[in-house]
């Protein structure tokens, strides 16, 4: 039907027709058009196939294993360079497989076999067949897609494809050339094909593409197709050559100065109409072999913003030298179309690469081969009525290109987008040059002036599954498991991801079906008895040296150098821009030995930050820092019975450790460290042991806690406990808050300098306009991320008064509480605000209160 | 695990200590190490002694495997016990680099990464110390917490490699 409607379906049809009403485009027009175009739909299921990703390294990467590629690989390999030869076909030989001839003393087939045998025998050569180099990137890196099992029956364990990243010292592009079509009316009829394809069928597969084949070509090279067919016993009906001065030596009818102006046939080609001067006649034929010349496959040379150069001599674009550093195009890819040109340029490029790599080339002769000049005429289209196709995949005709020019889409990039020429899976490999030649003609410019569209990677379509291999499900990121992971799972813990770590969220008891039931019980357990939690995921950094105190003064806002041995201090770390980066504890283990902790989520960021500060501001100071996060297992024991539990671990008197104290300790035979710190507001200890002892100690601590009416608790309960106390996490320290916002400005020591201190004084980082940390109380559930407004005011961004960072239900206070940031919040205690969460359909009222809800004097923690 | 001519082995965890030389500490550290017939590794180097081996692991830092650090280091280097902090896996067999090429972006060709080399890198997303102690043996040492993830990555890659060869 589209055939009959064709006169109405020109370029820009959709843009012009479906303008109104706008809403119908996505709902009605687009689905209908897509269905009519035969576009499929995705299954919605993840790809279950097995894929692979890998790296490879070499001195010389040779892209393509035709005559030039083989010669380059051989030259480089004999000199001892590590060579990777990537070939997209299953067999080596490239165009020689389609165009056999004589190389040296024997056939091209014999030469290929000898070169392949030699290359395969060399330990420094890797031959990668079914591998297409897809992109050229910085630093001599190339992407390549290998079809591993895609061409075979599917096997669960065999990768379908492998996406390679190949890092090469030098690269040689021997990717050959693409034959181009001629645009003449009805040139899309089955039976019309490229002359090179006809020849490939004949020589590679032993298939005759027709009973009576006709050749339509404007170059000498394509004549070989007719000669090969005749030699194979296939009838060649005629040769149609637009050139008047071409030869006519072939043993068949040759029409010079002629062109095909129409094709006929219902299911396939049966006849063509030929115009020769003023005469028109029919030729009965079932296969029309067409050749409009050759385009070097130079795409990779353009992947780093290079543009090709138009060669009038070759009537083709050729690569610009040096467009991709370290890459050189050879053979047909560089416009050297003869076999001799391929062999000699391949050898020369390999020798140049070897010399650049500091490897001496070995002397080797160049085998003799044909070096026929490629006589041709630039011939793009036949001037005759009817649809002449350029882009066979996207159904773009010469008329569409002219239409684009008429409507002033004169830039090749605009023409491409207006007509969709070159936007099919072949990305214009078949049609680009012909289309822009016609555009040049329509706009009265030369081809060089018209230019080409941008060639971007990948050169061929690449499955996302291959590029993203291993990134599905749990493969996305490594899982970090606590040393107590198995012990916690044995007790039925529900694990929660915190960063890369998996931590117990809660430990459900029989009968508890909702996480809140477990969480509330665990909170009350800690408040009334004792709880145990693995806190090993907190970052731990060991610092040693005489200048550590001085260094800590620099990286923490508050003073650390005055800390006594055996003491622990809470510390606040600012970024260089003055905003809060992290908080944690600093313990002084000895005169020159310190240990700092970071939050779980910021461990890497803090280590990187202080390493940077060490190297850039204190490189010659007497200090070294070492991450010991993985070396120590650390467990918090907290609650009114914490001391009893700790005491039970040792015979005799337990440690008489004051609040914020630390000491070396001994648990059985194991040298441990004990810290008197608390993140729950209850009396708390943290015991650290070498990590190999962690599993046993965690099990022992939990068992002892259970005899005291306590037990293990998870991070959900820990979260409630710390919110009740107004302690911070990265829900509050979200990168946008200052010490002033947190009410911790007094921690910025006035008597020393520290990272971020000056920047923290900048205008706008303190004052009434800042969102300040407060507490909220409510009678209804408070959702995290909810926004706060004045009652009666409009709910929009202009009226925003604050937002909720950490909400919870407090089983101790038996109400909903939250930490939040409210504009000028510290001056608004007792004020009622409207809480709105559009995501959860919440609209409630809350009261602004101080951010410490429980034991504000801290007696329970210190006592 | 044996497949495709390669053997994957989790390594037994012996003592490991990190040694970071303090400024001015080089002479004393060199002297202390001499008694163990070890010397300080250059970047990317493994030094094997009669007892234990010293592996470069960062700026002015090395890891001492399978030996107790000499007491004479005190005051001249920050010595930290890292026993249990890392999980090691050995890949043995002639095609070990082929397996590692599935995981590690490094150029492991013998002329670039000869026997006695060490490098910090990534195996997929897992940070690793890559060692090449013997001709047909490579080792990956990763943070203990990520050992299971690394093992899964290694065995998956080996399965696919074996399928290609089989």
pLDDT greater than 90 at residue A22: no
Reduced to 3 states, what is the DSSP secondary structure of residue B136? coil
Cα–Cα dist A716/A711, whole Å = 15
Q: Which two tokens stand for residue A369?
A: 């081969």
pLDDT lower than 70: segments of chain B: none
Residue A206 phi/psi, 5° resolution?
Answer: 65, 35
pLDDT, tens digit, 9 for 90 and up, residues A531-567:
999 999 999 999 999 999 999 999 999 999 999 999 9
pLDDT greater than 90 at residue A154: no
Asked if B85 and A691 come within 8 Å (Cβ–Cβ), the reply is yes
Q: Which two tokens stand for residue A436?
A: 């822009």
**Maximum alpha-carbon separation in chain A:** 119
Nearest CA of chain B to the CA of A156: how many Å?
9
Q: Which two tokens stand for residue A828?
A: 């608004």
pLDDT, tens digit, 9 for 90 and up, residues A617-647:
999 999 999 999 999 999 999 999 999 999 9
Asked if B145 and A480 come within 8 Å (Cβ–Cβ), the reply is yes
CA dihedral (A21, A23, A24, A26) positive or negative: positive
Chain B, residues 108-127, CB within 8 A of chain A, namely 108-109, 112, 124-126
Nearest residue of A to residue B155, measured between CA atoms: A157
Q: Which residues contact A51 (CB under 8 A, 6 or more apart)?
A: A159, A160, A161, A162, A163, A463, A465, A466, A469
% of chain A beyond a pLDDT of 90: 85
In this prediction, residue A509 carries a pLDDT of 96
Of A243, A290, A284, A294, the residue nearest A264 (C-alpha):
A284
pLDDT greater than 80 at residue A88: yes
Pairing of strands A711-712, A684-690: unpaired
In this prediction, residue A42 carries a pLDDT of 85
CB-CB neighbors (< 8 A) of B58 in chain A: none
Q: Where are the beta strands (DSSP E) in A41-156?
A: 52-63, 83-86, 102-103, 106-107, 125-128, 131-137, 141-147
Query: Counting Cβ atoms within 10 Å, is residue A3 exposed (0-12), middle (13-18) or buried (19+)?
Result: exposed
- With bands split at pLDDT 50, 70 and 90, how would you rate the model's confidence at A512? very high
Give bridge partners of residue A661 from the DSSP assignment.
A567
In this prediction, residue A14 carries a pLDDT of 77
pLDDT, tens digit, 9 for 90 and up, residues A669-719:
999 999 999 999 999 999 999 999 999 999 999 999 999 999 999 999 999
Q: Is the separation of the CB atoms in A584 and A743 below 8 Å?
A: no
Of B60, B145, B163, the CB nearest to A158: B163
Nearest CA of chain B to the CA of A518: how many Å?
27
Asked if A481 and B145 come within 8 Å (Cβ–Cβ), the reply is yes
pLDDT greater than 90 at residue A213: yes
pLDDT, tens digit, 9 for 90 and up, residues A25-63:
888 888 888 888 787 888 888 888 899 999 999 999 999
Q: Which residue has the higher pLDDT, A349 or A44?
A: A349
pLDDT greater than 80 at residue A220: yes
Of A119, A121, A101, A117, the residue nearest A109 (C-alpha):
A101
Over residues A330-345, mean pLDDT: 96
pLDDT greater than 80 at residue A343: yes
What region does B119 belong to: left with phi over 0, alpha with psi -120 to 50, or beta? beta
Cα–Cα dist A94/A113, whole Å = 13
pLDDT greater than 90 at residue A651: no
In this prediction, residue A75 carries a pLDDT of 98
% of chain A beyond a pLDDT of 70: 99
In this prediction, residue A469 carries a pLDDT of 87
pLDDT, tens digit, 9 for 90 and up, residues A263-294:
999 999 999 999 999 999 999 999 999 999 99
pLDDT, tens digit, 9 for 90 and up, residues A793-836:
889 999 999 999 999 999 999 999 999 999 999 999 999 999 99
The ipTM value here is 0.96
Reduced to 3 states, what is the DSSP secondary structure of residue A121? helix
Asked if B126 and A478 come within 8 Å (Cβ–Cβ), the reply is yes
Q: Which residue has the higher pLDDT, A472 or B96?
A: B96
Asked if A626 and B20 come within 8 Å (Cβ–Cβ), the reply is yes
CB-CB neighbors (< 8 A) of B82 in chain A: 628, 630-631
In this prediction, residue A40 carries a pLDDT of 81
pLDDT, tens digit, 9 for 90 and up, residues A571-612:
999 999 999 999 999 999 999 999 999 999 899 999 999 999
- With bands split at pLDDT 50, 70 and 90, how would you rate the model's confidence at A490? very high
pLDDT, tens digit, 9 for 90 and up, residues A663-679:
999 998 999 999 999 99
Q: Is the separation of the CB atoms in A340 and A103 below 8 Å?
A: no
CB-CB neighbors (< 8 A) of A149 in chain B: 163
Chain B, residues 38-97, CB within 8 A of chain A, namely 59-61, 77-78, 80-86
Q: Specify the residue for token string 């037994």.
A: B12
Angle formed at CA A272 by CA A271 and CA A276, multiple of 5 degrees? 145
How many Cα atoms are found within 13 Å in the side-chain-facing hemisphere of B128?
A: 29
Nearest residue of B to residue A54, measured between CA atoms: B102
Whole-angstrom CA distances from A547 to A553, A591, A747, B60 are: 10, 10, 22, 17
Asked if B81 and A690 come within 8 Å (Cβ–Cβ), the reply is yes
CA dihedral (A858, A859, A860, A863) positive or negative: positive
- With bands split at pLDDT 50, 70 and 90, how would you rate the model's confidence at A746? very high
CB-CB neighbors (< 8 A) of A478 in chain B: 124-126, 146, 149-150
How many residues belong to chain B?
166
Over residues A422-441, mean pLDDT: 91
Strand ranges of the sheet holding B6-10, from the earlier edge strand across to the other edge:
B2-3, B6-10, B86-92, B137-143, B126-134, B117-123
Cα–Cα dist A75/A318, whole Å = 24
pLDDT greater than 90 at residue A779: yes
* Interface with B, mutate which of A472, A475, A624 (most B CBs under 10 A): A624
For residue A661, give the DSSP letter: B
């Amino acid at each position: 039907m589209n055939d009959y409607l064709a006169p109405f379906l020109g370029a820009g049809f959709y843009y012009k027709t479906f303008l109104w009403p706008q809403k119908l485009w996505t709902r009605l027009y687009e689905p209908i058009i897509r269905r009519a175009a035969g576009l499929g739909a995705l299954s919605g299921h993840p790809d279950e196939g097995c894929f692979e990703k890998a790296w490879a390294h070499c001195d010389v990467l040779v892209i393509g294993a035709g005559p030039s590629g083989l010669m380059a690989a051989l030259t480089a390999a004999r000199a001892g360079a590590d060579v990777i030869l990537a070939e997209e076909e299953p067999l080596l030989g490239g165009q020689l497989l389609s165009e056999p001839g004589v190389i040296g003393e024997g056939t091209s087939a014999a030469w290929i076999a000898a070169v392949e045998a030699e290359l395969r025998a060399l330990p420094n050569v890797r031959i990668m067949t079914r591998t297409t180099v897809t992109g050229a990137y910085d630093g001599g890196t190339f992407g390549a897609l290998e079809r591993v099992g895609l061409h075979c029956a599917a096997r669960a364990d065999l990768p379908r494809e492998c996406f390679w990243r190949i890092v090469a010292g030098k690269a040689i592009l021997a990717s050959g050339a693409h034959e181009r079509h001629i645009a003449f009316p009805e040139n899309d009829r089955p039976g019309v094909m490229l002359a090179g394809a006809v020849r490939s069928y004949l020589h590679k597969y032993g298939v005759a593409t027709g009973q009576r084949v006709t050749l339509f070509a404007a170059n000498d090279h394509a004549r070989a197709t007719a000669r090969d067919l005749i030699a194979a016993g296939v009838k060649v009906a005629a040769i149609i050559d637009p050139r008047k001065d071409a030869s006519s030596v072939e043993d068949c009818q040759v029409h010079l100065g002629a062109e095909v102006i129409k094709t006929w046939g219902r299911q396939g080609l049966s006849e063509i109409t030929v115009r020769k001067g003023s005469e028109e006649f029919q030729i009965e034929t079932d296969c029309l072999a067409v050749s409009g010349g050759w385009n070097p496959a130079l795409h990779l040379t353009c992947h780093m913003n290079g543009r090709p150069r138009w060669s009038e001599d070759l009537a083709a674009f050729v690569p610009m030298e040096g467009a991709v550093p370290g890459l050189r195009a050879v053979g047909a890819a560089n416009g050297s179309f003869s076999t001799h040109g391929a062999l000699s340029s391949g050898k020369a490029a390999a020798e140049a690469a070897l010399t650049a790599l500091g490897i001496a080339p070995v002397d080797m002769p160049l085998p003799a081969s044909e070096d026929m000049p490629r006589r041709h005429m630039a011939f793009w289209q036949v001037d005759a009525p009817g649809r002449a196709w350029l882009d066979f995949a996207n159904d773009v005709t010469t008329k569409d290109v002219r239409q684009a020019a008429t409507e002033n889409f004169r830039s090749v990039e605009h023409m491409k987008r207006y007509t969709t020429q070159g936007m099919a899976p072949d990305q214009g490999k078949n049609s680009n040059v012909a289309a822009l030649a016609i555009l040049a003609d329509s706009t009265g410019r030369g081809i060089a002036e018209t230019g080409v569209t941008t060639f971007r990677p990948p050169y061929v379509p690449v499955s996302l599954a291959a590029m993203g291999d291993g990134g599905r499900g749990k493969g996305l990121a490594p899982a970090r498991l606590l040393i107590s992971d198995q012990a916690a799972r044995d007790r039925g813990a529900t694990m929660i991801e915190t960063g890369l770590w998996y931590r117990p969220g809660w430990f459900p008891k029989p009968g508890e079906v909702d996480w809140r039931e477990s969480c509330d019980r665990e909170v009350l357990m800690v408040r009334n008895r004792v709880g145990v939690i693995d806190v090993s995921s907190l970052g731990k950094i060991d610092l040693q040296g005489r200048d550590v105190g001085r260094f800590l003064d620099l990286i923490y806002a508050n003073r650390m150098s005055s800390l006594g041995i055996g003491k622990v201090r809470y510390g606040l770390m600012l970024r260089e821009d003055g905003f809060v980066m992290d908080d944690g504890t600093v313990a002084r283990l000895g005169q020159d030995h310190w240990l700092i902790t970071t939050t779980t989520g910021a461990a890497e960021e803090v280590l990187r930050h202080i390493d940077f500060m060490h190297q850039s501001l204190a490189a010659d100071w007497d200090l070294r820092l070492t991450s010991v996060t993985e070396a120590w297992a650390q467990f918090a024991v907290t609650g009114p019975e914490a001391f009893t539990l700790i005491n039970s671990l040792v015979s005799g008197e337990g440690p008489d450790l004051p609040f914020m104290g630390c000491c070396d300790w001994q648990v059985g035979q194991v040298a441990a460290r004990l810290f008197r710190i608390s993140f729950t507001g209850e009396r708390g200890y943290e015991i650290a042991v070498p990590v190999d002892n962690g599993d046993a100690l965690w099990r022992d601590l939990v068992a002892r806690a259970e005899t005291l009416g306590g037990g293990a608790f998870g991070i959900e309960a820990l979260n409630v406990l710390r919110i009740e106390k107004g302690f911070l996490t990265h829900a509050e320290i979200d990168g946008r808050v200052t010490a002033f916002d947190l009410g911790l400005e007094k921690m910025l020591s006035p008597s020393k300098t520290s990272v971020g201190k000056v920047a923290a004084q900048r205008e706008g980082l303190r004052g009434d306009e800042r969102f300040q940390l407060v507490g909220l109380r409510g009678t209804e559930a408070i959702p995290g991320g909810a926004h706060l407004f004045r009652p009666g005011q409009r709910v929009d961004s202009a009226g925003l008064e604050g937002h909720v960072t950490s909400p919870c239900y407090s089983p101790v206070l038996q109400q909903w509480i939250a930490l939040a940031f409210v504009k000028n919040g510290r001056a608004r205690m007792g004020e009622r605000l409207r809480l709105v969460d559009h995501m959860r359909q919440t609209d409630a009222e809350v009261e602004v209160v101080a951010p410490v809800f429980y034991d504000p004097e801290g007696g329970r923690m210190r006592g | 695990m044996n497949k495709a001519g390669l053997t994957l082995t989790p390594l037994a965890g012996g003592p490991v200590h990190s040694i970071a030389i303090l400024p001015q500490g080089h002479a004393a550290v060199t002297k202390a190490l001499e008694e163990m017939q070890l010397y300080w590794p250059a970047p990317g180097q493994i030094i094997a002694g009669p007892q234990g081996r010293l592996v470069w692991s960062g700026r002015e830092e090395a890891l001492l495997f399978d030996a107790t650090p000499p007491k004479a280091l005190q005051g001249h280097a920050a010595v930290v016990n890292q026993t249990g902090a890392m999980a090691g896996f050995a890949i043995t067999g002639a095609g070990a680099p082929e397996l590692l090429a599935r995981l590690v972006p490094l150029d492991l060709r013998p002329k670039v990464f000869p026997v006695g080399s060490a490098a910090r890198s990534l195996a997929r997303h897992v940070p690793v110390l890559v060692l090449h102690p013997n001709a047909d043996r490579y080792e990956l040492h990763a943070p203990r917490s990520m050992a299971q993830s690394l093992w899964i990555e290694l065995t998956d890659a080996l399965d696919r490699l074996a399928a290609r060869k089989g």
